[in-house]
Amino acid sequence: MHIFINSLPLIILFSIVYLYYRLTTVNLSTSAKFLQMRRYGIAAIVALLPLYITNTQLFFWIYPSHILVAAILILTERTIYFIATKDALTSFNMPFPIALGLYTFSGMVSLHILLLNIFPNHTFVNSFITFLQLILLLPQIINIFYYILFQSEINNNAIMLLYQTDKKEALEYLKSIDYRIWSAIIISFTILYTLLFYMNNYTLSHIPTLNIYTKMLFAFLTISTIFYSIKKLFMRCVLMESFKAVSHHYKHLQLFKTNHIQTLTNLQVIKNENTPQNIVLIIGESASRDYMSAFSYDLVDTTPWLKSNKSTSEFYFFNNAYSCASSTVPALSHALTTANYYNDISFNESVSIIDIAKKAGYKTYWFSNQSKIGVYDTPITMLAETADISRWVSDVFPKEKNFDELLVNFLPEIDLLNNNNFIIFHLMGSHIDYNNRYPQNFQKWSDANETGRVADFNNSLLYTDYVLEKIYNHFKTNNNLDALIYFSDHGTNPNRKRHPDGSGFSGLRIPLVVYLSKKYQTQNPILATTLQNNKNKYFTNDLTFNLICGILNIKSNYYSEIESIASPLYSFNKNNLKTSEGKVSLMNDPFDSEQMS
């Protein structure tokens, strides 16, 4: 009975925080449930450790200020983001604010007890602790007032505005804020400080006495928990992630822009006759040809539209295409530029396919359903922003569930009267979690697996096939499509849990499909014949830049015919091609696809 009573605070604390986590989570996977259960179990133990050391675990109420601070840390950011985005959510996790609150409680209680046992001036100690608590709560107060002002969460766009605003504009904006808001902020801070200070004075009368060894233990506990809270938890909360992402973006953007001026100066383009008037590039996400029925008739029909076009002369299906990397940024930053793993050109010194198209007189478009700004999206965003028109679903439809079909809404922006358009669509495709990538009416398959990973992945491919058909039909209906290329950044293995090292070769075998209109084939018979002859040749998608240059029928000082699978001079094969960022030969693929004609 005694053990149960002593364990009761721990049981209650863990139950409360985990229940709150589950109630404010959307589409939580089974693995995530157990991961956070473990995380919060450890965090709850750490939180109550100072109380157990001083044998005051049944009297946690003697630390009301620290309970209040922990509660605000746990609830504010997570709740605001949940409320602000719930209508558009396909998934929601955000576990770190909860752990941050628990670890902060442990660190602050330990520090408070330690300082009161060391310094005789308890009023000064309580004032210092109150000041630290206000500092801790400042980001949450900012979150609250931002939501009150804009009915929105602080996101990357908000942080970008700070970077884009000069001192004069900032002062003008601050002056424009209603005086009642400023009054509310001042009053709130005053009330909060007073409340925390008096709560800390209440704690003063119940503080336990420590001996020298316990003081050393509390010093260690204070330092370790505060360090962990800042380094591992606070820096991973949304507000700080946004600051880091935008800072990272601007740092690399400046370097890219500086170099880009010179590379564009050096770029020479010769536009030959019979170039396509309208060309569409569709970039998939995490699509694996191993699971696409257009590439294997032994599978469930995940790609009925693509499969229906396999026997037509206008479509070319490349059966041995691989990604050059297992993640998006290294794959696409090489696929869309002159940088590849067979030359020494870096991304910041490269020329992009958008640069080529613009220099050749095309109006360029980039429509994306991916993140605009993030630590891992920065290079791709920089490429996107060089297009004449760039749009992101998350910006234009912030309250909509971000299914790829929303990209179709951008189609009216394309000037079809202009016969020279280069249009890029960047899909969300089959990005993990797969069950969040398709609407309910595309749930054709399900399985008994508790995560349903393969079934969900197949459903996401089926939906991608539908989106591809809608984009294709739009241009065909308007008789304005000469060429279309579809490939994926990388693949995935839905049978394997997400891993930092990717999914092996199963995550590298990707689809590559090219469409050429009959008119364009007639105008370019050598190109059409070459693609037909090369559809079983091996290819890594860091050579996509040269493939597109070949289809554009454009010569430049950055175009290499021997690296273009659209050229008779294509010199690559299974023996000399590499994947995994140039580290692994395709010869190592243990499940190489059958040679299909």
**Tens digit of pLDDT at every position of the chain (597 positions):** 567 677 888 899 999 999 998 888 877 777 777 888 899 999 999 999 999 999 888 788 899 999 999 999 999 988 888 887 766 666 677 888 999 999 999 999 999 999 999 998 999 999 999 999 999 998 888 888 888 877 777 876 677 656 545 454 456 556 656 677 778 888 888 999 999 999 999 888 888 889 999 999 999 999 999 899 888 888 888 778 777 777 776 676 667 777 888 888 889 998 888 889 999 999 999 999 999 999 987 779 999 999 999 999 999 999 999 999 888 888 998 999 999 999 988 888 889 999 999 999 999 999 999 877 665 557 788 899 999 999 999 888 887 888 999 999 999 999 888 889 999 999 999 987 788 899 999 999 987 554 558 899 999 999 999 999 999 999 988 878 999 999 999 999 888 655 444 567 888 999 999 999 999 999 999 999 999 999 999 999 999 999 999 999 988 999 999 999 999 999 999 999 999 889 899 999 987 754 333
Contact present, 343 and 258 (Cβ < 8 Å): no
Residue 467 burial (CB < 10 Å; 0-12/13-18/19+)?
buried
What is the identity of the amino acid at 227? Answer: F
> How far lies 594's CA from each of 296, 326, 361, in Å?
9, 22, 41
Cα–Cα distance measured from residue 105 to residue 225, given in angstroms and rounded to the nearest whole number: 9
Q: Contact 412/405 with Cβ under 8 angstroms?
A: no
Q: In terms of DSSP bridges, do strands 363-368 and 512-516 run parallel, antiparallel, or are they unpaired? A: unpaired
Phi, psi of 481 (to 5 degrees): -135, 115
Burial class (CB in 10 A: 0-12, 13-18, 19+), 525: exposed
**Would you tell me the crossing angle of helices 179-204 and 96-118 to the nearest 10 degrees?**
50
The torsion angles phi and psi of 12, rounded to 5 degrees, stand at -65, -45
**Which domains, and CATH codes, for the chain?**
2-244 (no CATH), 277-588 (3.40.720.10)
CA-CA distance, 174 to 183, in Å (whole number)? 13
- Secondary structure of residue 495 in the 3-state scheme: coil
- Which distant-in-sequence residues (6+ apart) come within 8 Å of 213 by Cβ? none
CB 281 within 8 A of CB 549: no
- Amino acid sitting at position 303: T
Cα first-last separation, the chain: 74
Residue written as token pair 């993640």: 327
Q: What is the CA radius of gyration of the chain?
A: 29
Q: How many C-beta atoms lie closer than 10 Å to residue 240's C-beta?
A: 15
SS3 assignment, position 165: coil
User: Residue 578: beta bridge partners?
Assistant: 585
